[in-house]
């Protein structure tokens, strides 16, 4: 099998081919390393790449294990690169920041432990914005990641390197994380699948504070829903090191599930509240007949809620968590000088907040969650666009204007992500097609609290009713 044929396989197909001895792990590793050598210099998706001789030696060891009748797991010998915000033992983790340019962790994050245990070979890291701030994957350590569909455009972020690596077929599967759409926006911009799981679904161990930071989650990305769910199953499950972690359960989507009568609320632009660049909303609306074709009923719904209230509580909690989480670096003048302006803005804003303001923001977040529960009494799923713009110039840090409306913060253009993030709901980011310039965008399928499997069920049915994920960039 040729290199291009190997990298064309989905992760689950690749797993079966390796375990059926139709492909050697060495051949798989060689194919992916060849693709990385050819394409990564222009895309810049994978960073901190390990020495190829070491990787091929690990692949040969995996082949020997299979020959002896032993498999480490479904990811046996599969190459993966971990997002550069997640720590991997003995592999440089920069967080996209010059402050951590030489930081080498001494242990793995829980999720990395599980990926290793499933048999994967970690080949490097995927690029990200500095400390994950901003949905544009550039940083002063590794530079900018470019969109495989147009190398002049952004990949989004903060899981931009992961999404671009999948889109360019430099990896079969990838991990990411999501606070303000960091799994969902890059999925939309790169025509892949991103899944933000319920809060607590994937445990974490490397946060210094384990109880209050409930906005961000780890999650999987893939070129198919099945691949994405398979990685989620590897990442998920209880661990005592995370007090919020949920028990393991079967999250693999059901094939052929009947969606007759399933009720979908299309939230669109939230009744004119959100601005969109021309064509984005219209493209996302083309997904609605697809849901109807598989039996769903779709109804346009304007939330009976003050969305300004949701935004204000979000920005309060985000800045407060940032300020206190990064205070040590900020208090060091030398390190502060190495921070990008958006991070400094978040920290300075958060340091001025009182406990009363934070508690009030949390109360408003709770009220939003309760309101969404009333929506889920009438609807099984909520659907929103995954971005308010198409991929923009890779040299632009963030859009200053969307749909003719000035953006008052560096992240306001991503406000469409806030409704699900603030409620800790499971979300599948799925493709919705391409504009006239060939640039992709997508939708969010949002489910009830902890209904991760139900979201993946609908995402799989949607995938099977479309052909977007079979379309790849011409690199």
Active site residue 313: no
Inter-residue contact 18 to 28 (CB < 8 Å): yes
DSSP string covering 23-45, please? S-HHHHHHHHHHHHHHHHHHH--
CA distances from 213 to 217, 242, 323 (A): 10, 12, 12
Number of H helices, E strands in the chain: 17, 17
CA 394-398-400 angle, 5° bins: 125
Q: Which of 97, 135, 137, 182 is catalytic?
A: 182
Rounding to the nearest 10 degrees, give the CA dihedral for residues 58, 61, 67, 73: -50
Give 146's strand partners: 154
Active site residue 158: yes
Q: Which of 15, 24, 83, 340 is catalytic?
A: 83
Inter-residue contact 123 to 91 (CB < 8 Å): no
- The count of C-alpha atoms lying within 13 angstroms of the C-alpha of 316, restricted to the half-sphere facing its C-beta, is 19
Between CA 218 and CA 227 the distance in angstroms is 16
Q: What is the DSSP letter of 157?
A: S
Between CA 200 and CA 452 the distance in angstroms is 12
User: 110-117 vs 225-235: helix axis angle to the nearest 10?
Assistant: 110
Q: What is the DSSP letter of 252?
A: P
Q: Which of 158, 167, 177, 216 is catalytic?
A: 158
Q: What is the DSSP letter of 305?
A: S
User: Which residue is it, tokens 């080498």?
Assistant: 104
Give the residue among 321, 363, 267, 353 at the shortest CA–CA distance from 133. Answer: 321
Give the residue among 399, 313, 439, 400 at the shortest CA–CA distance from 364. Answer: 313
Between CA 420 and CA 451 the distance in angstroms is 13
User: Which run of H or of E encompasses 464?
Assistant: helix 452-464
Inter-residue contact 111 to 200 (CB < 8 Å): no
In degrees and rounded to multiples of 5, residue 406 shows phi and psi of -70, 135
Between CA 273 and CA 145 the distance in angstroms is 31
Active site residue 182: yes
Strand 174-178 to strand 217-222: parallel, antiparallel, or no bridges (unpaired)?
antiparallel
Q: Catalytic residue positions?
A: 83, 158, 182
């Amino acid at each position: 099998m040729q290199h291009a044929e190997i990298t064309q396989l989905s992760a689950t197909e690749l797993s079966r081919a390796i375990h059926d001895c139709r492909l050697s792990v060495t051949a798989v590793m060689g194919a992916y390393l060849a693709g990385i050598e050819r394409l990564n210099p222009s895309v810049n998706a994978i960073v901190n790449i390990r020495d190829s001789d070491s990787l091929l030696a690990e692949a040969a060891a995996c082949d020997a294990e299979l020959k002896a009748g032993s498999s480490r797991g479904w990811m046996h010998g599969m190459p993966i690169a971990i997002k550069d915000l997640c720590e991997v033992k003995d592999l440089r983790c920069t967080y996209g920041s010059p402050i951590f340019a030489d930081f080498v962790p001494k242990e793995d994050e829980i999720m990395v432990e599980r990926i290793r245990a499933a048999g994967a070979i970690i080949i490097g890291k995927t690029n990200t914005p500095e400390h994950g701030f901003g949905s544009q994957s550039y940083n002063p350590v590794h530079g900018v990641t470019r969109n495989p569909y147009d190398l002049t455009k952004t990949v989004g972020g903060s899981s931009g390197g992961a999404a671009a690596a999948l889109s360019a077929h430099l990896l079969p599967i990838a991990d990411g994380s999501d606070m303000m759409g960091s799994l969902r926006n890059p999925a939309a911009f790169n025509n892949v699948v991103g899944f933000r799981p319920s809060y607590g679904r994937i445990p974490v161990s490397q946060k210094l504070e384990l109880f209050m930071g409930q906005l961000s989650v780890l999650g999987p990305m893939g070129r198919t829903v099945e691949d994405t769910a398979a990685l989620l199953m590897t990442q998920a499950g209880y661990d005592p090191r995370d007090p919020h972690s949920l028990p393991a359960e079967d999250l693999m989507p059901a094939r052929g599930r009947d969606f007759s009568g399933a009720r979908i609320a299309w939230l669109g632009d939230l009744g004119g509240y959100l601005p969109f660049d021309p064509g984005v909303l219209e493209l996302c609306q083309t997904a609605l007949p697809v849901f109807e074709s598989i039996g769903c009923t779709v109804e346009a719904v304007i939330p009976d809620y003050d969305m300004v209230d949701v935004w204000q509580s979000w920005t309060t909690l985000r800045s407060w968590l940032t300020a206190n989480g990064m205070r040590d670096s900020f208090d060091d003048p030398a390190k502060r000088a190495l921070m990008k302006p958006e991070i400094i803005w978040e920290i300075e804003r958060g340091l001025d907040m009182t406990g009363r303001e934070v508690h009030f923001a949390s109360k408003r977040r709770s009220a939003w969650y309760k309101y969404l529960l009333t929506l889920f009494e009438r609807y099984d799923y909520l659907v929103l666009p995954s971005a308010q713009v198409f991929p923009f110039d890779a040299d632009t840090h963030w859009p200053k204007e969307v749909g003719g409306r000035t953006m008052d913060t560096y992240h306001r253009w991503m406000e469409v992500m806030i409704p699900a993030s603030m409620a800790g709901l499971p979300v599948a980011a799925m493709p919705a097609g391409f504009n006239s310039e060939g640039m992709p965008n997508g939708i969010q399928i949002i489910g009830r609290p902890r209904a991760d499997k139900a979201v993946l069920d609908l995402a799989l049915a949607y995938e099977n009713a479309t052909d977007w994920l079979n379309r790849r960039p011409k690199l």
